[in-house]
Amino acid sequence: MVFGASVTALKIGSSAQAVKILRREPSSRAEGGGHRDRPGCQGLAHRQRDAGRDCRGRRRRGRARRSARETRRSAARSSRRALVVYDKIDGLKVVPQAGMARVGGNVFPKQLQQFEAIGISSGPDGKLGTADDLELGLVPVKWSVEEFTATFGDDDMQYVGTLDERGLFTPNVDGPNPKRAGNRNNVGDVWVVAELISADPKRPPTPLRARAQLLVTVPLYMAWFQDEGGR
């Protein structure tokens, strides 16, 4: 049974990228069996195997088409859309699209929020936002925070917290902030922005960017939902 692969996407024209096919074989089955190549894939000599993985070096030929591919050991043991073949990254998506963090650290614990950036290929039709768009998995991006303007002189991004280079947002401390107008808490809403880091010569002249909204709110003062052991 094939469950998937160690990578989610393979770029057309890339060379000698190792791909691990994750599978599970019955103990009675002898080691071996064929691997069905799809158009545009050429296997290299390098190949490693153990009880749970099938590792191969792969090279994408120029005639490969943008599409989702399946990996298979037999007709009945395949994993559909296990790999995506693409030529360039056409767009980005930040997940979650609406995140939430809670200030804390003085009295109540903080609630952090992790963001991730997913590359998008426009697929066979060459148009973003259509049904054949292909998700390429996580891609390297530069993270930043921008103001989500909800009122005049909005200054939330100065007080709500920090976003690190891995997309992890850590909120500020709980309690009133004497440095903030009105002695307000360090709460508010901001945009979390991802900008693609790429050396691809096919990249568009304008940097690819995507964003998601982040709400930084008050601590969870009371846990309404607990398991039996916490009552």
Strand-pairing partners, residue 161, are 171
5 neighbors 20 (Cβ within 8 angstroms): yes
* Cα 46 from Cα 83, distance rounded (Å): 19
Q: Report pLDDT for 221.
A: 86
Q: Report pLDDT for 187.
A: 97
Both tokens of residue 193? 């922005």
pLDDT in tens, 47-96: 444 433 443 444 444 455 555 654 444 444 444 556 788 888 999 999 99
3-class SS letters over the chain: CEEEECCCEEECCCCCEEEEEEECCCCCCCCCCCCCCCCCEEEEEEEEECCCEEEEEEEECCCCCCEEEEEEEECCEEEEEEEEEECCCCEEEEECCEEEEECCCCCCCCECEECEEEEEECCCCCCCCCCCCEEEEECCEEEEEEECCCCCCCCHHHCCEEECCCCEEEECCCCCCCCCHHHCCCCEEEEEEEEECCCCCCCCCCCCEEEEEEEEECCCCCCCCCCHHHC
Number of Cβ within a 10 Å radius of residue 10: 22
**Cα torsion through 76, 81, 83, 88, rounded to 10:** 150
Q: Is the peptide bond before 96 cis (omega within 30 degrees of 0)?
A: yes
* Residues in the chain, pLDDT under 70: 1-3, 15-16, 24-82, 201-204, 225-231
Which domains are delineated in the chain?
A: 2-86 (2.60.40.10), 91-217 (2.60.40.10)
- Region at 158 (left for phi over 0; alpha for psi -120 to 50; beta for the rest): alpha
3-class SS letters over 41-87: EEEEEEEEECCCEEEEEEEECCCCCCEEEEEEEECCEEEEEEEEEEC
Q: Report pLDDT for 79.
A: 45
Q: Give Rg (Cα) of the chain.
A: 23
Q: Report pLDDT for 200.
A: 72
